[in-house]
């Protein structure tokens, strides 16, 4: 230390700067980059009280989701005819989500319809109601069929649920308190019917209907899971011919759309050798995917100068070399995730998630239940409230 002319001592060096980890703003930016898996923020919260306070702050959690943009795939749901809903995790052991945490026991005959935007939609046909379940919060609510069907026979073909939040920068996957739209496609003796429910108004909207064509069959095929966009639901139905049933509740339009005529060249609808998928594109149109062996054929529905929509074969994608497949292997379509990535199961054990646009893929190690033919991908942000037993001690 040195003295100045007044005899006071002066500092011989500048003050030691604070650690970056003591700056909440800088620390937030660092922690935003943690993987969006269940254990990440839980581990961070165990470091100290300051970190626990930071990662539990609603603003931090909102910014964390915005940084990651897409919620992670946590696993798959499947259901059986006894009303049991089972969860199969897609995560490693350090993120262990016990199957019992996301499992549900319902009335026998209840039917799993959809997993979308962090919510599950289940049909209870006997009680003429839909069940809306949030596996992360455990909240389970019921919505009765539209009053117009009280006491009348209405068979539900399929249904869906989407988040209706319109906040700028909203990221799906933590929509627990946000409004939603529930939609269904059904039939009576003469008509195909569709309607949408708003959780904001707690009421059903207008009922839309078209006449049942003679070739229509009651059940949609598990070979072609229904797909959802923000304002529409589409699925493939079989009969004397195949047809896409689309309900756009945003435009108030219910329509039947023929599949691409040259899809029949692949014997796609005979013998169960091919599988199909419908996707909504950003421009508002439709894509039709046909999986034959290891090839995915892609048609896009486009409008000509007269405004007439037609199908055009746009691409054929070979998956054999991309996924290093052997001739004896077999691929099965499990569906699309919310970002239009195709989910495929190879033989009995390996699951792939493939982007047909970028041709990037990810291998997911799992063993899916053998008794269910239908699996629904579940994407959501999730941080356990208590420390899992499988967390590695630091």
Query: pLDDT tens digits for 213-265?
Result: 766 655 445 556 788 887 899 988 877 778 899 999 989 999 999 999 888 88
CA neighbor of 86 nearest in space, from 375, 291, 307: 375
Stretch 133-155: mean pLDDT: 87
Domain coordinates of the chain in residue numbers?
Answer: 24-61
Q: Using 50, 70 and 90 to split pLDDT, how confident is the model at 387?
A: very low
Q: What is the DSSP string of 15-62?
A: PPPPPGGG-HHHHHHHHTTS-SSHHHHHHHHTT-HHHHHHHTSHHHHH
d(CA 344, CA 165): 30
* DSSP three-state, residue 263: helix
Residue 159, Cβ neighbours under 10 Å: how many? 23
Q: Using 50, 70 and 90 to split pLDDT, how confident is the model at 206?
A: very high
Query: pLDDT tens digits for 80-107?
Result: 777 778 888 888 777 878 778 888 888 8
CB 365 within 8 A of CB 96: no
Helix (H) or strand (E) holding 300: strand 295-303
């Amino acid at each position: 230390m040195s003295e100045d002319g007044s005899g006071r001592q002066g500092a011989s060096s500048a003050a030691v700067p604070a650690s970056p980890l003591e700056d909440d703003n800088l620390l937030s930016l660092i922690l935003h980059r943690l993987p969006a898996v269940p254990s990440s923020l839980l581990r961070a919260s165990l470091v100290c009280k300051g970190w626990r306070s930071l990662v539990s702050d609603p603003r931090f959690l909102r910014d964390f989701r915005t940084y990651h943009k897409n919620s992670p795939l946590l696993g798959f749901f499947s259901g059986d005819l006894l009303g049991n809903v089972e969860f199969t995790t897609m995560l490693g052991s350090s993120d262990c989500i016990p199957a019992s945490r996301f499992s549900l026991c319902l009335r026998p005959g209840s039917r799993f319809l959809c997993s979308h935007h962090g919510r599950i939609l289940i049909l209870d046909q006997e009680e003429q109601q839909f069940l809306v379940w949030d596996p992360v919060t455990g909240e389970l609510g019921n919505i009765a069929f539209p009053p117009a069907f009280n006491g009348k026979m209405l068979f539900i073909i399929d249904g869906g649920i989407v988040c209706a939040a319109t906040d700028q920068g909203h990221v799906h996957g933590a929509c627990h308190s946000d409004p939603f739209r529930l939609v269904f496609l059904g039939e009576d003796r003469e008509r195909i019917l569709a309607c949408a429910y708003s959780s904001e108004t707690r009421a059903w909207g207008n009922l839309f209907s078209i006449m049942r064509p003679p070739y229509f069959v009651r059940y949609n095929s598990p070979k072609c899971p229904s797909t959802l966009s923000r304002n529409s639901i589409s699925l493939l139905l079989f009969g004397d011919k195949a047809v896409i049933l689309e309900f756009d509740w945003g435009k108030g339009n219910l329509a039947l759309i023929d599949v691409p005529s040259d899809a029949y060249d692949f014997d796609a609808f005979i013998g169960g050798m091919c599988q199909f998928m419908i996707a909504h594109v950003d421009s508002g149109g439709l894509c039709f995917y046909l999986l034959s062996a290891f090839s995915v054929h892609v048609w896009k529905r486009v409008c000509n100068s007269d405004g007439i929509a037609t199908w055009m074969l746009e691409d054929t994608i070979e998956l054999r070399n991309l996924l290093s497949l052997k001739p004896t292997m077999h691929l099965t379509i499990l569906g699309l995730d919310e970002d239009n990535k195709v989910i495929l199961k190879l033989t009995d054990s390996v699951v792939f998630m493939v982007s047909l646009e970028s041709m990037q893929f990810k291998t997911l190690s799992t063993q899916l239940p053998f008794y269910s033919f239908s699996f629904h991908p579940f994407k959501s942000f999730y941080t356990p409230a208590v420390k899992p037993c499988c967390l590695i001690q630091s």
